[in-house]
Homo-oligomer: A and B are copies of this chain.
């Protein structure tokens, strides 16, 4: 009943954020119940509503908060001027480090966009577009200076981001590779991608001429329920 001795708003709030992050990353927003969340935190369900107005707002706060942090950290990392290559390296190292440091937040920022209501989604998508643009600017600049040879910088932007962001789907702390190791390997791949396209395109074109078209079955055969009538 009533306020528990020693209870304190900020502590509870932090616990809610942490538990929510973990539950959403594990089960997904729709599958996480506020009962679970409250239990994880060790409070009653109703008490959650001292910290957010509803479940959707909670999700939005988590995602928006993370995006703000991400932007601020990226801006700090890119502060120092340099060549496009230097900047791309910087970007990659930053992105890898960030994904390794906060994989859950990063993950839900991708996976739970669909759970955002239209207005909230619009706000987040705008922030994401800004982030993409920062990478896109580096690539455009590098192509202009001749440092990079890219057929399509928009595609390259999306490809690099997908490649780097994939890290958070399989990275586990204490794995085979350290953050440093990951940074080096991924920087290598990103720079190769950015530099080498001319040569690669040649290959691609060559192949394109000779290759038979790839067959993609449009429909599966057989009943939905395998093994049943």
Contacts and interface: CB of A to CB of B under 8 A. Distances in A.
B214 A187 contact: no
A143 to B, nearest CB: 14
A223 B199 CA distance: 51
Interface in A149-168: 151-152, 155-156, 158-163, 165-166
A19 interface: no
Q: Which of the four size classes fits the interface of chain A?
A: 35 or more
Contacts of A201: 184, 188
Interface of A: 13, 16-17, 26-28, 30-31, 51-53, 57-58, 61, 64-66, 68-69, 72-73, 76-77, 80, 85-86, 89-90, 93-94, 97-98, 101-102, 111, 114-115, 151-152, 155-156, 158-163, 165-166, 169-170, 177, 180, 182-193, 195-197, 199-201, 203-205, 207-208, 211-212, 214-218, 220, 222-226
